[in-house]
Amino acid sequence: MPEHPVKSLSVLAPAKINLYLHVTGRRGDGYHLLDSLVAFASIGDRISIKPSGAFSFRIEGPYASAFTAAELESGPESQNLAVRAARGLGDLLGRRLDLALTLTKNMPLAAGLGGGSADAAAVIRAMLDAWQVAPQAVQGLDAFLLSLGADVPVCMRCRPAVIRGIGEEITYLDEIPEMPILLVNPQKHCPTPDVFKAFAGREFSAPHPVPVSVKHTQDYLELLLAARNDLEAPAQTIVPGIKTVLEAISNAEGGRLARMSGSGASCFGLFENEELCLVAAEQIRQAHQDWWIRAGTLGRPQRH
């Protein structure tokens, strides 16, 4: 494989939204089996790469201070998935890390938006692009992505997909109709293990039937409205503010669906049109200045 000099570039690490999430069972090891439709938004973190004689890693942006010392490390022992992704890809390709990596952390951490996995996947996309290596040319790439985390393969493709099992069974779908989306996080810690613990004793759901292609927004909304996020109620026992967030989104004019993503605490609203989505963002921001609120588009984040 010919080696190309690294070039400067920046890519979006889009928020991964669980448009619905059914808990369908529990494995012997305690992990829960899920059925979820995921799609990606134009909102997210950013990964930038610059040519450099030696590898470096730094985090900037509004949530940079939320990382632990071990997550700020750029060495092989780093606890940051973005660094592990960069080092692992270098090893896989037998290439020296001739780049400086910057993560601009715009999304709150552990927020139910797939942040760490999205960042790791974006690092790999950015590095392959900078090195001008096609993903198909990397032997063992799929296994490497999965070794970083169950959500990393789907974040790598940034395409809508139904995920089952604990996230490792992925069925990619056709692109979905683009919709204005509002993301709202009450900025309260909602740890995933606690949410699954709070789910204990509740009934499992059946998987939701999803066709590979849905062309019209209305059909798409009906499909989503017939499903739910089974972790919404248990998450509210940990962060009661999630209920307030969902009410604020539901009460906004033009809102068609309000739901929590992942294990929370972020919630999303799908809106009739972009203008009403922006108005809702502004109104909710006025009433709740301590919440994280972003408006954007759901679908085709590759363009951003």
- Region from 43-51, 72-80, 188-196, 289-297 binding ligand C5P, contact rule CB under 6 A: 188-196
Our finding on whether 288 is near ligand C5P (CB under 6 A) is no
Mark 66-105 with x for binding to ligand C5P (rule: CB under 6 A) and - for no binding: ----------------------------------------
Residues comprising the chain, all counted:
304
Nearer to ligand C5P, 23 or 126 (CB): 23
Structural contact between residues 214 and 176, judged by C-beta atoms closer than 8 angstroms: yes
Q: Of 157, 155, 160, nearest to 176 (Cα)?
A: 160
- Region from 46-54, 88-96, 192-200, 244-252 binding ligand C5P, contact rule CB under 6 A: 192-200
Reply yes or no on whether 151 is catalytic.
Answer: yes
Distance, CA of 217 to CA of 178 (rounded, Å): 8
Given 16, 35, 105, 119, the catalytic residue: 16
Residue nearest to ligand C5P as judged by C-beta position: 32
Our finding on whether 28 is near ligand C5P (CB under 6 A) is no
Our finding on whether 146 is near ligand C5P (CB under 6 A) is no
Long-range contacts of 270-277 (CB under 8 A, 24+ apart): 270/179, 270/180, 270/181, 270/221, 270/224, 270/298, 271/179, 271/180, 271/181, 271/182, 272/180, 273/180, 274/180, 276/180, 276/252, 277/180, 277/181, 277/182
Structure tokens at 88: 């692992």
Among 193, 200, 213, 289, binds ligand C5P (CB under 6 A): 193
Nearer to ligand C5P, 101 or 239 (CB): 239
Structure tokens at 142: 């799929």
Closest CB 193 distance from ligand C5P, rounded Å: 4
Return the SS3 of 176.
Answer: coil
Q: Which residues are catalytic?
A: 16, 151
